[in-house]
Structure 1
Amino acid sequence: MVEPLTPPDQSSLELWPVGNCQVSGLIDRRGALVWGCVPRVDGDPIFNSLMNGDRHDLGEWRFELEGQVAATQQYERNTPILVTRLEAEDGSAVEIRDFCPRFERSGRMYRPVAWVRIVRPVAGAPRMKVVLRPTRGYGQHVAETTNGTNHIRYLVGAQAIRLSTDAPIGHVLSARVFRVESDQHFFLGPDEPFSGNLRAEVRQMVEQTRKYWKLWVRGLHIPLEWQDDVIRCAIALKLCQHEETGAIVAALTTSIPEAPHSERNWDYRFCWIRDSYFTVQALNRIGALDVLEKYLAYLRNIIDSAQGGQIQPLYSVMGDSELDETTAAHLAGYRGMGPVRVGNAAYYQVQHDCYGQIVMPTVQAFFDRRLLRMADDRDFASLEKVGEMAWKMHDQPDAGLWEFRTRQEVHTYSAVMCWAACDRLANVAAHLGKEDRLKLWRERAEAIREKIEREAWVEDGDAGHFGASFESDYLDASLLQMVELRFLQPDDPRFQSTFAAVEKALRRGEHMLRYDSEDDFGLPETAFNVCTFWLIEALHMAGRDEEARALFDTMLAHRTASGMLSEDIDFDSGELWGNFPQTYSLVGIINCAGLLSKPWSEVR
């Protein structure tokens, strides 16, 4: 994709994620690193120009050619290694290779808090300057520097990071233009001397990182159609996992608004139990068991620390339960649309669907013999505490999956998820031969089912439909998940009438709203991308495959050049909004591709 290289008037979600499951970064269409946090995804964004209005003099790392005119970007096949070609008006050009090292070394996974960039002259006699200006304190201060012969130290808080390079240090410090006559290697990472030959070590790193990702992709079970699209989403989802603990963040960013000037700006750099459930479910379908295994370890720690089985909607990637919400006063926000939030007050909300989303992925560990650690009786005893909370809370008001901040109701989706928790615990009890527990959990699941069928049903002429809550008859897109959760079958007339009502009320052409009623911030202004994928799934179940495929192709066309989607989309202009890349949306691509693809048997 060719783009003009002058600094943009405003930020864009045309971004390319890189990472290694410890640290991540977002590269913009100029090849600039505009978002990156240390020492992990929820840390201080030392690269933050994405969230600082039209300021591009601070909080980013870019290579700028003299006379720049265009850029071309693409990932190396089946990797998150990004190649950006910068071209100047005189025909000269350089190629930038961006990656975060990830490979096995000394019996462990080497994934340092580091970004690596290799600049190679590929045409003419390019002249370039390096602009590297990290900040600290969420944009409050420019990082102070000290330097040696071949390195620069940047003080970015209580710790420093070190740039080791074979480029001229003085030119980097002063952002002076110089001729690029040979490959230039840049390793920005831990504040320690770089051991070995920089050029040789960095080249070995990129080769080993390339090998790791190609082998990881090789183990995926992908559909025949849309293979590249599924692979790209799978890699991005894996980059959203903090491997140290197994937590999966909802997105790599904070505070990209759901709609312009809406103040629907949230910090998504945390592990939502709900979002993570959808992520591991999608990756499990294509065989990425390593992500599931690490996440199950994270869940076991969450369950162990839960007070009486009570689960929060979200936790930090380290498992911290308190995520107090503040604002970063020194960052202007995406396109100047603040506030930039740090932390998320949703952690103290009551959201009862999380009990089902704890139980459902954990249940697999009792049945799947591929896993290195299968679950046992002790795990079942711990999981039953979560089930007890699901039973206790299934008919109690909560904020719901859309996290309403000013009202509570008994949400149908939450009740169905509590039913799923009890239903799946009954399955595990049967597998373990625990007849008394099987009877208990089956009876509870049936009691919840009967209450949902009675309390959530809305009489509407001859057909009727399920409503979004027990107290009111409004609709939301989560009702389309009742088949996925096995609460209803696709041919159940109640699902068919509910689907018809949801589609009529919430569909806006090629997009789907979460709901169309006013919430804490007024009427929704954008469509929620995962809901459109739920619509595609429902169309497929209704036998409307041609329409489902057409809508799926339309959604794919809305992706960025990197193959990503954010959380929301303007249903009039098609512009992407919301945090990026959003795991929900990438999950939708993987799931729909699997549903709609022709079988592999057609080419065998």
Structure 2
Amino acid sequence: MSQPLFYGFLSNSYTSALVSPDGVIEWLPFPRFDSDAIFCRMLDKTRGGFFSIQPRDDFESEQVYGENTNIVVTTFHTEQGQAQLRDFLPIGRAALWRVVDADIPLTLICRPTFSFGAAGSAYEIVDDGAIFRHPAGPEVVVLTIQGPMKKLARRDHWEIGPGQVVVVLRYGQDYERDRIWLQEPLAHAPNVEDATRKFWQRSLLPYDGPHPEAFNRSMLVIRGLTYRTNGALLAAATTSLPEAVGAGRQWDYRFVWVRDASYAAEALLLAGDPVACRRFIEFMLNTVDLVGKPLAAPFYRVDGTRSQGERELLWLAGYKNSRPVRVGNAASDQIQMDIEGDLLWVVLLYWRQTHDQTFIKEYWWAILTLVSWVAEYWKTPDASLWEFRDEDDLYTHSQLMCWVALKVGETLAKEAMQDLVTAKTWGQVADRVANSLWQDVKESGLPYFTQGKHHRHVDAALLTMPLYGFVGVDDPVFARTLEHIEATLLHQDFVYRYREDNMGPVLYPFTLAGFWLARVYLRKGNLERADALIAAQLRGVTDMGLFAEHIDPVTLEPHGNFPQLFPHAAVITALMERKQATRGFPDPYAAERKVQVEGGR
């Protein structure tokens, strides 16, 4: 089966755009990832703005990435000739560049809107393009066309080509204030494209294992979802692309989820970039709240501030009429007990790789705050990593990550701070958490771990228990857990996160979970099975090598926000662990690890 056609992803590490297979920019927030979009036609074919460059006559198109870059190349074929369109967001500028080389004329339509399509644009036609202004605000978008062009009768239509044409869209907050930047000449167009190409190519890391194309594309996605000024990592580039069309499961993911970003930071570290990992850790530790829950929200804006609540954009029809379109995310008010452990795990891995004692000491105040809070409140029910709404429980994965937080704290207190008293205290609490998890198995009357105290079925998150060193992969209870997961959640080597929640049945597998299962088999020493699972997950990429959050196992169509950080981080982590599998997996807690806890099984 061929991979489905879907959007190409552009980024300049400040914001991102999506370009359709037929050369239409259908998504572009300015000036940041989490800003309002000036193009959002993917969320409403009528009201959402867009920017298209296409041949005048019937055409076929094909789309690829420029080699090892986030530059999207679209080639048009017509009976009269061909045209190539190269799209990119220049590094360091709030702008979109579209470079055309054509032996046929094309039609350019530029129709920005403001406030997610709530406001059309006031416009002024100028000699080399147009100026579009927010009718009630300071935002301005300037279109500049350099090369053969002719204004057409409709206000937002131009004919461009044949020949080379450079088209630039610049964004500003006030035309008079930003006039120099918005009217900057395009004399250095080739240099801008070349600099952008080299920027992305330099962002790759050496890799000599299997699936190198998937590894490199995943690295470029992670780089593209990185906010360049501080190293924050975005969960996804979009809002409201539905998990299942018409099911109401569409959310805004344009934030720094502690969990998702920690997974990506781990991937970067494993791939050989401790600097990027440290930048993220530093960003995250600087959000720690000394009053109340240290990570006060499950996610943050790219500048480290909190996002509060969500609102529905009722004037937009939604992707394939999946309403409502949401901006913001009500999960901002949830208690999620796993996230301190998610972050601290990466801190431990960073310490183990670099032994950067200066960094650990500098941020010991934050680490101390995180671990101390978990030590006191680990019994708190929460929404889990699945962010259930109105269904709090003592979820097994959340309790596992509380144990991880405490074990990391114990290890760092002993190794980095030489504080044996604090290390012993946290280790004792970790033992109590572990006892509680084993006791819960006894209370359930089932021979395997379950999702939570009041949710006596399995979920995919249970696969992470050996990945964090809580149990060995051959532990009898985990072995039965794995067997039950594969019997109930595995379909054609894709893994569902669970089968049903209070919003109804889950229709599609969760792309991250298949990589979790592959990593379990790596630890079991079954490389053949692990390789098969990795290959199966990679079937779920689009024609451009990109993952969404969910995958239709029959059609391989992507579902959910796109591209998604989770699976691209998982690609890198799984492939790097595949390289080290023959050498064995080190115990993450060294001498502190205690799997068999008195009073357990």
| CA–CA distance in structure 2, aligned partners of residues 269 and 384 of structure 1 | 29
Partner of 1:414: 398
Residue 591 of structure 1 and its aligned partner are, at CA, apart by 2.4
Q: Which amino acid aligns with 2:365?
A: A
Residue from 229, 234, 240 that aligns with 2:214: 229
2:596 maps to 1:590: no
How many Å separate the matches in 2 of 1:544 and 1:365? 28
**What is aligned with 2:130?**
152
- Please report how far the alpha carbon of residue 322 of structure 1 lies from its aligned counterpart in structure 2 after TM superposition: 3.4
Partner in structure 1 of residue 57 of structure 2: 67
* 1:289 positional shift: 3.1
How far off its partner does 1:390 sit? 1.3
Letter of the 2:72 counterpart: L
The reply on whether 1:205 has 2:192 as its aligned counterpart is yes
Q: Which residue of 2 aligns with 1:242?
A: 227
Match of 1:96 in 2: 85
Letter in 1 for 2:312: T
| Cα-to-partner distance string for 1:357-377 (whole Å, 9 max, x where unaligned) | 232223455455497x94143
Q: How far apart in 2 are the matches of 1:178 and 1:141?
A: 26
* Correspondence 1:331 to 2:305: no
Partner of 1:496: 479
Relative to structure 1, is the Cα distance of residues 383 and 529 closer, same or farther in structure 2, using a 3 angstrom cutoff?
A: same
What is the match of residue 587 of structure 2? Answer: none
> Which whole-Å deviations, capped at 9, do the CAs of 1:417-451 have from their partners, x for residues lacking one?
01111111111111221121111122221221121
Secondary structure at 2:64 match in 1: strand
Change (3 A) 1:256 1:150: same
**Residues 516-558 of structure 1: per-residue CA shift (max 9 Å, x gap):** 2x31211111111111221222233334432332232232222
Match of 2:260 in 1: 275
Letter in 1 for 2:168: F
Change (3 A) 1:458 1:540: farther
Is 1:398 aligned to residue 373 of structure 2?
no
Residue in structure 2 matched with residue 546 of structure 1 by the alignment: 528
Q: 1:159 to 1:470 in 2, by over 3 A?
A: same
Of stretches 451-460 and 390-399 in structure 1, the one that deviates more from structure 2 is: 451-460
Kept in 1: contact 2:289–2:295 (CA 8 A): no
1:505 has 2:481 as partner:
no
Per the alignment, residue 429 of structure 1 pairs with 413
Residue of structure 2 equivalent to 1:8: none
Aligned to 1:256: 241
Aligned equivalents of 2:504, 2:182: Cα separation in 1: 56
Point out where structure 2 has 5 or more consecutive residues left out of the alignment.
173-178, 584-601
Partners of 1:457 and 1:465 within 8 A in 2: no
- In structure 1, C-alpha distance between the alignment counterparts of 2:337 and 2:303, rounded to whole Å: 22
Q: Structure 1 residues 335 and 308 mapped into 2: Cα distance closer, same or farther (>3 Å)?
A: closer
Would you say the 8 A contact 1:415–1:452 is kept in 2? yes
Match of 2:40 among 41, 48, 59: 48
With 347-356 and 538-547 compared, the bigger mean Cα shift is at 538-547
Alignment-derived partner of residue 286 in structure 1: 271
Separation of aligned partners in 2, 1:380 and 1:523: 43
Question: In the alignment, what sits opposite 1:7?
Answer: none
Contact 1:429 1:435 in 2 (8 A): yes
Q: Secondary structure at the match of 2:203?
A: helix
Matched residue, 1:533: 515
Change beyond 3 A, Cα 1:234–1:26: same
Given the superposition, is the C-alpha separation of residues 176 and 439 from structure 1 closer, same or farther in structure 2, using an over 3 Å criterion?
Answer: closer
Q: Could you tell me which amino acid in structure 1 is paired with residue 495 of structure 2?
A: M
Q: Does the CA-based 8 Å contact 2:146-2:167 persist in structure 1?
A: yes
State the shift of 1:566 in Å.
0.5
Equivalent in the alignment of 1:479: 462
Question: Is 1:185 aligned to residue 166 of structure 2?
Answer: yes
TM-score (norm 2): 0.89
Match in the other structure for 1:558: 540
Q: Distance in 1 between matches of 2:494 and 2:144?
A: 47
1:528·1:568 contact (CA, 8 Å) conserved in 2? yes
Q: How many Å apart are 1:208 and its aligned residue?
A: 1.1
Q: Which moves more between the two structures, 229-238 or 523-532?
A: 523-532
1:30 is matched with 22
Cα distance change of structure 1 residues 412 and 540 upon mapping to structure 2, 3 Å threshold: same
Contact 2:150–2:158 under 8 Å retained in 1: no
